[in-house]
Amino acid sequence: MVFSLSEKLWNQAQELFPGGVNSPVRSFQSVGRHPFYVSRAKGSKLFDIDANCYTDYVCSWGALIHGHCYSPVVRAINEALQNGTSFGANCPLEIRLAQLIRSAMPSIEKIRFLNSGTEACMTAIRLARGFSRREKIMKFEGCYHGHVDSLLVKAGSGALTTGIPDSEGIPASLSALTIILPWNDEEKLIAAFKKYGRETAAIILEPVPANCGLIPPKEGFLESIETQARAYGTLIIFDEVITGFRLSYGGAQALFGIKPDLTVLGKIIGGGLPVGAIGGKKEIMDSLSPLGKVYQAGTLSGNPLAMASGIAQLEELQKGHAYQYLENLGQQLEAGMLEIQKKLSYPLQFHRFGSLFSFFFTSKKVTSAADAYQVDKKKFSSFFTALLSSRIFIPPSPFETAFLSTAHTESDIDELLKIVYDTLKQML
């Protein structure tokens, strides 16, 4: 494969951007090679500027549940574009997208749009603190909620990939207010609530964590979180930036039958344009400015192009067939991986939940971030590089999750399985 044009840009980028990138995992630093530059994408395929074509299992980190350049989304953006790019005033599209989200997630009575998942998580924390008049928050080790000061403590995703789950630049007095819990450990959860529950404004979680690899909750764990939080008057914040409109139309909360006080959304609700949202109980949401005293604002919030794109994406999902299709692809992948494991007995854990999947290079079961830290990063790098040379693009980090879209086909999955088999066989 030729990468000469990408290499040239990569050299320029390193002079222009810290680490050559505008978001850390894109540097491919953890897999020990330089990244490629994308020229265009369509459906499940990405094309780089050297004309290499990849089957894409990153899908803009889950935003593109219908794949790239999905016609209804492109059409909606084009139509909205004719009327302007930003108004700094209200537009009808905000109402439509809010109604779609509210009808999908009954826990959301009121909503506010922002521009990213990070912004939405930041506001959720401030709102929970302002509403409850408590200062502490609880989060789980390995969960990632954007680069919010209070939440960059034992964080997953790029923070973990680049080896800085506890970022510098955050006052110790602020991170001291963040209580870290191990995922899937009910005993420690109960103990933490006993000790800090009454001072804790909110517990924030990814209901199916996907930023430290994919680590689904053990049976009953989400229910325990709910029981504890309710007992101590601690608000529950579901960060559904990845799971919202992906695990089901109503997100993880519909799947598990849990009603969080606040929900954070992003990615899918913007159809690939920058967007975030926070929604929840009316009485909590009304604490936001201008009604309440918790301040939040945004020049580009409710941007007409992002709203139009999100509406088109959700209207397609609302039809319902996407979820069965994605589940079928997921099952095909899982069954194929089981076969591969039977044949090769490679020390690898494959996790799948709906249209999310990840590979852990370890012989031990992975149920927490601490388990995930034990993976063999070198083996992951070899695996990633081999897949990339076979034109398969998965997240360039052992601590991220891969995504299926409705643009993927059964033959894409067959191809992926064949390449995974050949790669693991070689690596044995």
* Residue 145 sits in the site that holds ligand PMP (CB under 6 A): yes
Tell me 355's DSSP state: T
When the beta carbons of 57 and 144 are compared against ligand PMP, the nearer one is: 144
Question: Smallest distance from the beta carbon of 85 to ligand PMP, in angstroms?
Answer: 20
The answer to whether residue 152 forms part of the interface with ligand PMP (CB under 6 A) is: no
Determine the interface stretch with ligand PMP among 144-152, 218-226, 310-318, 411-419 (rule: CB under 6 A): 144-152
Q: Distance between CA atoms of 41 and 51, rounded to whole angstroms?
A: 11
Q: Identify the residue among 30, 44, 118, 248 touching ligand PMP (CB under 6 A).
A: 118
| Choices 234-242, 303-311, 328-336, 345-353 (CB under 6 A): range interacting with ligand PMP | 234-242
Asked if 263 is part of the footprint of ligand PMP (rule: CB under 6 A), the reply reads: no
Chain residue whose CB lies nearest ligand PMP: 117
- Tell which residue, 244, 252, 251, 268, has the closest CA to residue 60: 268
Q: DSSP assignment, residue 244?
A: T
Within 10 A of 218 (CB to CB), how many other CB atoms are there? 14
Residue 376 CB burial class (10 angstroms; 0-12, 13-18, ≥19): middle
Among 200, 211, 296, 358, binds ligand PMP (CB under 6 A): 211
Structure tokens at 117: 């998942």
What backbone torsions phi and psi does residue 270 show, to the nearest 5 degrees? -115, 0
Phi, psi of 5 (to 5 degrees): -70, -40
Contacts with ligand PMP: how many residues (CB under 6 A)? Answer: 16
Catalytic positions, please? Answer: 144, 239, 267
Rounded Cα distance between 326 and 314, Å, is: 15
The verdict on 141 binding ligand PMP (CB under 6 A) reads: no
Residue 148 in the binding site for ligand PMP (CB under 6 A): no
From 26-34, 239-247, 248-256, 305-313, span contacting ligand PMP (CB under 6 A): 239-247
Residue from 27, 29, 60, 116 touching ligand PMP (CB under 6 A): that is 116
Closest by CA to 175, choosing from 152, 201, 157, 206, is 152
C-alpha pair distances (Å), 81 with each of 84, 87, 94, 101, 307: 5, 12, 15, 22, 11
Q: Is 273 in the site for ligand PMP (CB under 6 A)?
A: no
Q: How far apart are CA 285 and CA 301, in angstroms?
A: 16
User: Which residues sit at the interface with ligand PMP, rule CB under 6 A?
Assistant: 61, 116-118, 121, 144-146, 157, 206, 211, 239, 241-242, 266, 276
